[in-house]
Chains A and B, each alone.
Chain A
Amino acid sequence: MSDIAIKVDGLSKLYKIGTQKSGSFRESFSSLFTSNNNKEQNDDAQKDFWALNDVSFEIKKGEAVGIIGRNGAGKSTLLKVLSRITEPTKGRIEINGRVASLLEVGTGFHPELTGRENIFLNGTILGMSRREVKAKFDEIVDFSGVEKFIDTPVKHYSSGMYVRLAFAVAAHLEPEILIIDEVLAVGDAEFQKKCLGKMEDVSKNQGRTVLFVSHNMGAVQNLCKQVIVLSKGKLNYSGKTINGINQYLKSKNSNSLDLLKFRLKEADKLKFRFTNYEIESEEGFKIDSVLTGMSFIIRTHYEAITEIEELIIRIQIVDSKGNIVSTLNNFHSLYPFKNLKRKSSVACKILKNPLMEGIYTLNFQALINRSVVDDIDNVGKLMVYEGDFFNTGKIPHIKEGVLIEHTWLI
């Protein structure tokens, strides 16, 4: 028996945008009579869109693999093809083991049916037999925490109860391969934790293969050792999670440099000026977004008219409301840089990013021999996504303030 759970080979999926879709009868009927000439025009209007383009990878048994990528990268299409909801246009997939895919919690739930009936309905839709559902019934009800309302139609449930019941059914599937879309984006924080815990249990302790699509880098980081990064339908990276996340956070084209570039033309004879800046990961990848808790580098490039005797750099981090969250200053934390080249770069490494999820801007200021030589606001844009700051697997969903490393004492 091979140790490969999923083998994907040259997978492509084509969608035609425009005319074909759920067409009307008249269109098909009339296209029977239109000349070839017309038909060619139609073909032009029809745009091909490769949602997946020649994607190949292998997933070993017992691995938990995250699939990440920006919106429209093809993550959902990949899941749909792997779960056999839609057929690929090209390529081949080999799946060894019983698959359960959860692209949504509570598929097929009917509001008029009771919780009990919906457990059976949803369970069978997910591929369990009636007997299997029956055997797990008590466990499912227990996990969901809605036993009091189990014989009430689910339309009277609160949305939280509904989701809990739905996830409870899904959590008791016993497939060898579990494919999960961002189902964790629902429910309250406590329940999300419970779900993540269950998934961790499935992948780490029970040794099942888990495929997990998420925008939540924190969850991916915590759950998966391997990731697959998709970008515009193509496989961008497949391998270690940390490298994959760096790849995902990598900048494509940053507009925030315009301000710096614009200045270049304006004043040529300044004593000192910032010419560029970059965000880098610890491993040296150029990125434009970072995770809470990760280490990253802000590198500023400069140009001066002579060599610099003593340089102080001040970087202010400003949140979306305009509050200065923190100031990084080498005068305070280290000592002023001495004897620098005329044209080079200096970098500030943030050892553990305390910023909560959000968009931040950066202000740069430079002082030579204690007098300000360059001062520019709102140059950089820094995207921060949720991450596992405390290395506990628990992602704080707070939007205010910053995180401080701390410990508790009794």
Chain B
Amino acid sequence: MKQAQTIIDANRKGLTLNVKELFAYKDLFYILAYRDYRVRYAQTFLGFAWAFIQPLATLLIFTIVFGKAAKVDTGDIPYPIFALCGMSAWSYFAFVMNQSGNSIIGAQGMVKKIYFPRLVIPLSKAVVGLIDFIITFMFLIILLVIYGIVPSSNIIFLPFFILMGVISALAVGIWLSALTIRYRDFQHIIPFMTQLGLYATPIAYPAKLLIGSLPEWANALYFMNPMAGVVEGFRWSIIGGEMPSEYSIISFSLTILLFISSLFYFKKVEKVMADLV
């Protein structure tokens, strides 16, 4: 039998991500996600029904406020479908960002008492969010059937945009989880970001509404939002229409950059995590 050997050396330099070790803890990853899923609606009267009520209520308000009252122009796409496309991607992002952002603080009992790759904690939240995502996505399919709309052939790109959504949610979430350890201020920034992002992302309105009326630099700034590209692309791959604007490239490259940097920053904070929380 091969003997496992561990070397702990205070002088070891450099940051290695150790993907192999992360993979060895895949069971923990699943079981943490399972725990969150099981515990989420525990002791609630409506239980799992909440997972349906929340997106429905939001959709209703969006349709009334933006669709009927503000009369946002969505071309020949019915407003509820337009909004739900954006919402399903956005609420996944917001959920994962929130959950993983606060995840290390929430798991401090574990962090202080046992070793495992800490990255498992925020990563597992991405799986939990998928459950809600699937529910809103089912609504979307039902709405498409009701309105008799056939998804566009762009749908083959959908997996790419879902993947980008997962990556961007994790990127922001991992950054935040590590930052909150150092600076608790970020705990207060997270709800603020969720609120701001709801309006700063083309969810309730098409991005071209803004692109047309803003100067070039502002457009670039707008697409610095990692979710701007994802939401636009997500909607495009389902209901077709105009290609996402070329600014999406900014959004996607930033997401990748944010994700890679988040892993390294997390790794750096991981060393002192148990001492800080």
Contacts and interface: CB of A to CB of B under 8 A. Distances in A.
A23 to B, nearest CB: 7
Contact of A1 (B3, B32, B186): B3
Contact of A125 (B4, B6, B28, B30): B28
A99 interface: yes
Interface residues of A, number: 47
B114 A91 contact: no
A12 B38 CA distance: 42
Interface stretch (B81-89, B170-178, B269-277): B269-277
Contacts of A200: none
B13 interface: no
Interface residues of B, number: 40
A179 to B, nearest CB: 10
Interface in A83-134: 83-99, 101, 103-104, 107-108, 110, 112-113, 117, 120-121, 124-127, 129-130
A25 B31 contact: no
Nearest to B5: A96
B48 interface: no
A407 interface: no
Contact of A88 (B3, B8, B184): B8
A84 B8 contact: yes
B10 A91 contact: yes
Interface string A282-315: 0000000000000000000000000000000000
B27 interface: yes
Interface string B240-277: 00000000000000000000000000000001101111
Interface stretch (B105-113, B191-199, B210-218): B105-113
B114 A101 contact: yes
A120 to B, nearest CB: 6
Contact of A80 (B3, B28, B42, B274): B274
Contacts of B276: 21-22
Nearest to B43: A112
Interface in A27-78: 28
Contacts of B185: 24-26
A84 B6 contact: yes
Given A110-B39, A125-B28, A130-B27, A104 B113 contact: yes
A81 interface: yes
B267 to A, nearest CB: 12
B26 to A, nearest CB: 9
Nearest to B4: A98
A85 B7 contact: no
B243 to A, nearest CB: 40
A23 B272 CA distance: 13
B110 A90 contact: no
Contact of A87 (B30, B35, B272): B272
A335 interface: no
Interface of B: 3-11, 27-28, 30-32, 34-35, 38-39, 42-43, 109-116, 181-186, 271-272, 274-277
Given A85-B114, A101-B114, 13 more contacts: A22-B183, A84-B6, A85-B115, A92-B8, A95-B6, A103-B114, A107-B110, A110-B35, A112-B43, A113-B35, A124-B27, A127-B116, A130-B27
14 contacts: A22-B183, A28-B182, A84-B6, A84-B8, A84-B115, A86-B272, A92-B8, A98-B4, A101-B114, A103-B113, A110-B35, A113-B38, A125-B114, A176-B3
Closest 6 CB pairs of A and B: A25-B183, A84-B115, A93-B8, A25-B185, A95-B6, A112-B42
